[in-house]
């Protein structure tokens, strides 16, 4: 498997230069996620520059992620169509870069963002719009030979391993897969204290559709009401069974990417050391 990072870039793709990639390499990573604000702004010379810089350092071309909102499920049809168009352009760009997949966030009706809760996010009408949006995007992905890497979570329409399987089944495209991020699916204390079962449920239901993972961890905050916060991997307070995550991923997709994410630059080395310790305990060697 390939250990990379979703971070260490101060901005979108325009900020990626030799110094950024050398810093990524010095941390021992083999790739860094490419974030894009406007896929149409990247010209052929920019594609060639990025590919050359990655190749000269022995980096794999990474997952791409577009900076778009949560409107693939929007009630406003014009807004939904505009977002679908953006993700289609991300698919085209990903193919031009020679990257394996582009990230898809299912979205939310919450105007504050695609990873915010809303009372109707789990409704049938929202689900139907998500399926339709994803079908349209996957039609382009099939033509380009690019995987769509959906990420889910308890606050959004794709709220469980079963819902992820349902999305794959309802969309019906071979180019639709999952970007594993189990922390996002922790919604109650029973799950928090048994993340092994959660992780293994994904591997049981969709073993052939997992394209990679985002590496992070979480902890339970003491209090009357359940509250969870992200934490650094493999710390005493951290609860995610990252060993089960890596062992399962090695079995179903040994070429998958694992990207350390959601951390400031000064914390990334600590998290990288943590995921490497987990891999060592599990007998997994990074590519």
21-50 pLDDT tens trace: 999 999 999 999 999 999 999 999 999 999
Q: What is the mean pLDDT of residues 64-87?
A: 96
pLDDT over 90 (residue 147): yes
Q: How far, in Å, CA of 186 to CA of 162, rounded?
A: 14
* Cα torsion 41, 45, 48, 50: sign: negative
Instruction: Identify the architecture of domain 2-282 in CATH.
Output: Alpha-Beta Barrel (3.20)
Return the SS3 of 38: coil
Distance CA 272, CA 277 (A): 9
Whether 5 and 273 have beta carbons less than 8 Å apart is answered as no
Residue 167's pLDDT is what? 98
- Does the structure show a pLDDT above 90 at 152? yes
CA distances from 168 to 125, 171, 214, 217 (A): 17, 5, 20, 26
Tell me the average pLDDT of the chain.
96
pTM of structure:
0.94
Angle at 128 between CA 123 and CA 134, to 5 degrees: 125
Query: Are the C-beta atoms of 155 and 116 separated by less than 8 Å?
Result: yes
User: pLDDT tens across 153-201, in order?
Assistant: 999 999 999 999 999 999 999 999 999 999 999 999 999 999 999 999 9
Percent of the chain with pLDDT over 90: 98
**pLDDT of 69 strictly over 90:** no
């Amino acid at each position: 498997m390939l250990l990379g990072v979703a971070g260490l870039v101060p901005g979108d793709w325009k900020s990626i230069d030799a110094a950024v990639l050398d810093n990524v390499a010095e941390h021992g990573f083999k790739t860094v996620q490419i974030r894009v604000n406007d896929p149409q702004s990247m010209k052929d010379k920019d594609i060639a520059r990025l590919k050359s810089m990655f190749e000269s350092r022995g980096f794999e071309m990474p997952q791409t992620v577009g900076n778009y909102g949560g409107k693939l499920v929007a009630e406003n049809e014009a807004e939904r169509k505009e977002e679908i168009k953006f993700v289609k352009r991300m698919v085209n760009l990903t193919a031009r870069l020679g990257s394996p997949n582009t990230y898809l966030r299912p979205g939310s009706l919450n105007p504050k963002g695609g990873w915010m809760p809303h009372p109707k996010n789990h409704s049938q009408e929202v689900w139907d719009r998500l399926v339709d949006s994803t079908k349209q995007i996957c039609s382009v992905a099939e033509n380009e030979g690019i995987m769509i890497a959906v990420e889910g979570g308890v606050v959004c329409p794709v709220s469980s391993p079963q819902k992820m399987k349902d999305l794959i089944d309802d969309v019906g495209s071979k180019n639709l897969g999952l970007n594993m991020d189990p922390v996002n699916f922790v919604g109650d204390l029973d799950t928090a204290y048994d993340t092994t079962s959660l992780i293994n449920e994904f591997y049981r239901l969709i073993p052939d559709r997992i394209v990679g993972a985002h590496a992070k961890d979480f902890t339970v905050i003491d209090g009357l009401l359940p509250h969870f916060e992200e934490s650094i991997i493999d710390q005493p307070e951290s609860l995610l069974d990252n060993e089960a995550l890596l062992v399962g991923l090695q079995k179903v997709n040994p070429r998958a990417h694992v990207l350390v994410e959601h951390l400031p630059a000064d914390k990334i080395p600590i998290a990288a050391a943590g995921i490497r310790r987990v891999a060592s305990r599990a007998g997994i060697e990074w590519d």
